[in-house]
Structure 1
Amino acid sequence: MSNPYAEIFRARGTKGFAAAGFVARLPVAMAPIGIVAMLSQTHGEYWLAGAVGATFALANALVAPHISRMVDRFGQTAVVAPAAALSAVAFLALIAASNRGWPVWTLFVSAFLAATMPSMPAMIRARWTEIFRNTPQLNTAFAFESAADEMMYIAGASLSVGLAVALFPEAGMLVSTLFLAFGTTAFLAQRSTEPVVRLTAATASTGSAIRLPAVQIITFALIFIGAIFSAAEVSSVAITKELGQPGAASLVIGVYAAGSFFIGLILGALALKTPLQRQLLVAVGIIMVTTVPLLFADTVPLLAFAVFVSGLAISPTFITAFGLIERRVPETMLTEGVTWVMTGIGIGMAFGAFATGWVVDTFGAQNGFWVSVVSGAIALLTVLLGQKTLGADREAPMPAPAHQPAE
């Protein structure tokens, strides 16, 4: 039996853009935590560090889909290059403002401008789609990308904090910025795999991908999947601290990501015939069911096992979600569609962390997992009600709203 992952990398140019893309995507995980690690040391105020980090994260969540929409219309090189350059310069300004003690407002302005950082996971998936569109290999490529995303969050966040603590406060952000600059440059230099721009008269008048029902359903569902992801992290930290073993938190969180990583790789090697919308329903259903045992995990070994089981269906959910986006969204809106889903995950992780923190402070560490249970139920209900829409044919581009002349 041939190795399906070796098969996708036999295609010309795939090794190059995948390697460069992994480096370019690391700032997605490094920058938000790097900002907090840097400012908490240089300014000694966690509220300020959190506020500046949130400014970047929320602004990026709002800006990234619009950048991707421009990519669909004008091409990756034409849009990603200036957007990444502006983001890198803004990050350097943020580092300088932190190091030199510039006024607080410069921190917020720099973080806001840095939000033009493109969604590199979406750019990479667009290239895989261009090469393997409507073939079984695309599912394998998406599985590889989901595994790479898992590694990005594990390695990126750890590297950013580790550098800031071991070297100097700005080290994590400086390395993140260098990865953004050099990784993006190397990625864009490989023009042979850049997706073709399918700009037509119809494309020019197309509205946003978020207006498509399939994108709305998947994005809304993955907001709550992202909340489950962050709730597990925050609750694990709180519970291990309460049990007097705070150092075990990193092990528990690592187990959570490891389970998802390996299941994702296995799924990518299979050629499942079940419709993708059914696969998504099953994956989200498993996530919802496996959040319940987390409420009863009152020892570190039991917590690690429950978290491992709960994380098994995360990658399958992401793989099928992106597969549905590829099959339901018009080709001229693919990058934007993928970015909206990535944005949904990010928003869910941010609000999930906030909600879990409040629950832990108010009702105790163990009850933080109720955020996971409730989020799982909402995600499952969303996917269940959206089965008919998700199983329909590829949606046609929707025209932008006509301008209404003033009366």
Structure 2
Amino acid sequence: MSPLTGYKRLFGLTGPTYVLVGFLARLPLAMSQLGVLLLVAGTTGSYGAGGACAGALAIANAVGAPFWGTAADRVGQRSVVLLQSLAGAAAMIVLLVLTHAGVPWGWSAVASAAAGLVMPQVGPMARVRWRPITARSEHQKKLVDIAFSYEGAADEASFVLGPALIGLGVSLASPSFALSAAAVVLAVFGAWFALHPTAVQAHDAHEDTGIHDLTLVTPALILLCASQLVIGAVFGSVQTGTSVLATDAGQPGLTGYFHALLGVGSVVAGLSIAGLPDRFTLPARLRWFAVALLVLAVPLLLVDSLALLAPVLLVLGVSVAPYMITTFTLGERITPPARTGAAMTLLAAATGLGYAVGAAIAGRLADWGGQTPAFAVTVAAGVVAVVVSWGGSRVLARTAERVSA
């Protein structure tokens, strides 16, 4: 089955409306971090306050994601994601009110954390739905692989488009307008995604399995969480190094656009890996995609201008989505069906924490020596990716074989 045929069959099972809603529903999470940073920085005059509030949102979202994933496994996505969408939108409105009320910015940080804590991880929730959706299809295994390729590419595309939409909203009106738009999108499309019939279909499939094995955290899943922690550190350190270069060039507003180049290459590669042969196993893919991540990150150490940065980020992105897609696909394969929501959100949480860690370390190093030490964190993350994927290869392969047997 060619990738084009596979995507056609896959989307034919749900219709284009579900695919569009599922994509739009994940945009607010991609918009919120930059939106909060610009909103709080603009009202307080402090980028430190803005960064602290944005970090509070990201960390709270990472902490809360596994809880909501477990809740969705137990009672179904419909009620859980609906509650998250409406509560997340309300929390962002509260944040807007607080920032314009003149209260100390610490209250904005609390509101940001509350918004992050309840905001849904739509990408992981969408991944959970594809196996039940394809249950009666021929070549189900291949269709699920194609679905995970699409979801990885969709996540990358959302993190390209989300910040760009915030930038557009700020240019047209203000940070308040941009974040208000994110709240509206979350309330409308998050609720639509929650109420879509596929949510009930996924929960019914879990109930029908009769599986009551509550085992979630295994050595294999810990390895995959470490893999996602690494990719989060890549995102955080690349964004920090890019910000340093853009600021030094007198164009700090270009940071989001240059960071989006990482996502462009990633989206293209993510959609393409659906055509990889089955004999190229998932553990082997993770190993070699990790090597590609390291090799393609090294040129960042030679970058000293935005002109040189653009092609390096575009090429580096080619390794990012395949690495992430492989991690999430392995996570779905090695997890009992009744716990896939928790597993997917746990991997997403590891990515968020990795972003916070990578950005924090790269920021400290950038204060000391500029963009090169910041990009050195990206290269170091690539080294860790290689160590984790090659060192844990046997564990992943044994676990995948045991589950598929």
TM-score (norm 2): 0.89
Aligned residue in 1 for 2:203: 196
Unaligned stretches of 5+ residues in structure 2: none
Whether the 8 Å CA contact 1:291–1:373 is kept in 2: the answer is yes
Q: Which amino acid aligns with 2:134?
A: F
Aligned residue in 1 for 2:316: 310
Aligned residue in 1 for 2:284: 278
Alignment map for 1:254-333 (pairs within 5 Å): 254-333=260-339
- The CA RMSD over aligned residues, in Å, is 2.5
Q: What secondary structure sits across from 2:45 in the alignment? A: coil
Q: Which amino acid aligns with 1:328?
A: I
Whether the 8 Å CA contact 1:330–1:395 is kept in 2: the answer is no
Tell me the distance in 1 between the aligned counterparts of 2:64 and 2:256: 32
Unaligned stretches of 5+ residues in structure 1: 398-407
Structure 1 residue 188, shift from structure 2 partner: 2.2
Aligned residue in 1 for 2:123: 121
Structure 1 residue 290, shift from structure 2 partner: 1.6
Question: Cα distance 1:389–1:23, how it changes in 2: closer, same or farther (>3 A)?
Answer: same
Segment drifting more, 45-54 vs 296-305? 296-305
Question: Cα distance 1:183–1:214, how it changes in 2: closer, same or farther (>3 A)?
Answer: same
Q: Percent identity?
A: 27
Structure 1 residue 219, shift from structure 2 partner: 0.8
Structure 1 residue 243, shift from structure 2 partner: 5.6
Question: Cα distance 1:331–1:395, how it changes in 2: closer, same or farther (>3 A)?
Answer: farther
Whether the 8 Å CA contact 1:5–1:269 is kept in 2: the answer is no
Whether the 8 Å CA contact 2:246–2:255 is kept in 1: the answer is yes
Structure 1 residue 204, shift from structure 2 partner: 6.1
Q: What secondary structure sits across from 2:120 in the alignment? A: coil
Q: What secondary structure sits across from 2:344 in the alignment? A: helix
Q: Which amino acid aligns with 2:114?
A: L
CA deviation profile, 1:182-226 (whole Å, cap 9, x unmatched): 01121122224530343599866725x3x2222110111221122
Does structure 1 residue 227 correspond to structure 2 residue 236?
no
Tell me the distance in 2 between the aligned counterparts of 1:245 and 1:59: 30
Q: Which amino acid aligns with 1:319?
A: I
Q: Which amino acid aligns with 2:214?
A: T
Segment drifting more, 71-80 vs 104-113? 104-113
Q: What secondary structure sits across from 2:214 in the alignment? A: coil
Question: Cα distance 1:50–1:249, how it changes in 2: closer, same or farther (>3 A)?
Answer: closer
Tell me the distance in 2 between the aligned counterparts of 1:131 and 1:271: 23
Aligned residue in 1 for 2:8: 6
Aligned residue in 2 for 1:391: 397
Question: Cα distance 1:191–1:301, how it changes in 2: closer, same or farther (>3 A)?
Answer: same
Question: Cα distance 1:93–1:70, how it changes in 2: closer, same or farther (>3 A)?
Answer: same
Q: What secondary structure sits across from 2:398 in the alignment? A: coil
Aligned residue in 1 for 2:154: 148
Aligned residue in 2 for 1:90: 91
Aligned residue in 2 for 1:26: 27
Structure 1 residue 396, shift from structure 2 partner: 9.3
TM-score (norm 1): 0.89
Aligned residue in 2 for 1:206: 214
Structure 1 residue 3, shift from structure 2 partner: 2.9
Q: Which amino acid aligns with 1:392?
A: R
Q: What secondary structure sits across from 1:118 in the alignment? A: coil
Q: Which amino acid aligns with 2:318?
A: L
Alignment map for 1:23-102 (pairs within 5 Å): 23-102=24-103
Q: What secondary structure sits across from 2:203 in the alignment? A: coil
Question: Cα distance 1:64–1:396, how it changes in 2: closer, same or farther (>3 A)?
Answer: farther
Tell me the distance in 2 between the aligned counterparts of 1:228 and 1:363: 18
Tell me the distance in 2 between the aligned counterparts of 1:132 and 1:384: 32
CA deviation profile, 1:283-314 (whole Å, cap 9, x unmatched): 01110122112212334443322222222110
Aligned residue in 2 for 1:167: 173
Structure 1 residue 108, shift from structure 2 partner: 3.2
Q: Which has the higher helix share?
A: 2
Whether the 8 Å CA contact 2:231–2:354 is kept in 1: the answer is yes
CA deviation profile, 1:117-164 (whole Å, cap 9, x unmatched): 121111111112222365101111111111111111111112123313
Among 346, 351, 356, the alignment partner of 1:345 is 351
